Amino acid sequence: MKLTVHAVGRMKSGPEKELGDRYYERFARSGPAVGLEFGGITEIPEGRGQTVDERQREEGQKLLAHVQAQGQAGAALVLLDERGKSFSSQELARRIGAMRDNGRKAVVVAIGGPDGHGEALRSEAELIVSFGALTWPHQLVRVMLGEQLYRIATILAGHPYHRA
C-alpha cells in the first residue's frame, strides 16, 4: 500500500527538516517489509481566500485534485486535525494495517494549514487523527508524523522499537 503525505505549507531548512527527513527515510526503508511503500511528501502553499472557509475549501480542492492527478482516486484519506480522535500508536498501526490488509492501494495523510481542514474535506476522510489537544507548529507535526509512520512500520513488523 502506497502511503503519501500531503502538507499545506513548506518545510524550511533546519533541524526540524533534518529530523523529519531522518524519520521519513527510516519509514521508506522499513515500510516495504510490511507492505507499506512511502510515496513521498507533497507540499502546497496556504490558500489565498479572504475567509477561513475560502482558504479551507481551496486547500481541500488542491488536495483532492492532487490525489486524482497522481492516479490515487479511491485512496483512503487520513486527516491530521485537532478535532480528530487521539489514538495510541498501536491502535493507529492496527488501523493502517487493516487498510492495507483490506486491499487499499493507497493512503494519503493530510496535514492542514493554519485554519485546519474544512468540513467538506473532513466528510471525505476515512480517519481523522489528532496528535492531542495541544496546538503544534507545522514543522513539529511533520516530524511527529514521520516518527509515527516509522513506529507504525516497526509495530507491524514486530520490531522492538516500540516498547509497549
Name the binding residues for S-adenosyl-L-methionine: 80, 112, 131-136
Distance CA 12, CA 22 (A): 15
Separation between Cα atoms, residue 158 and residue 156, nearest integer Å: 6
Place of cell 513521498: 40
Phi, psi (degrees; rounded to nearest 5) at 111: -105, 120
Cα 15 from Cα 51, distance rounded (Å) = 33
Q: CA separation (Å) from 40 to 52, 56, 82, 128, 132?
A: 28, 23, 23, 20, 25
How many Cα atoms occupy the beta-carbon half-sphere of 100 within 13 Å? Answer: 19
Residues 104 and 111: their CA atoms lie apart, in Å, by 20
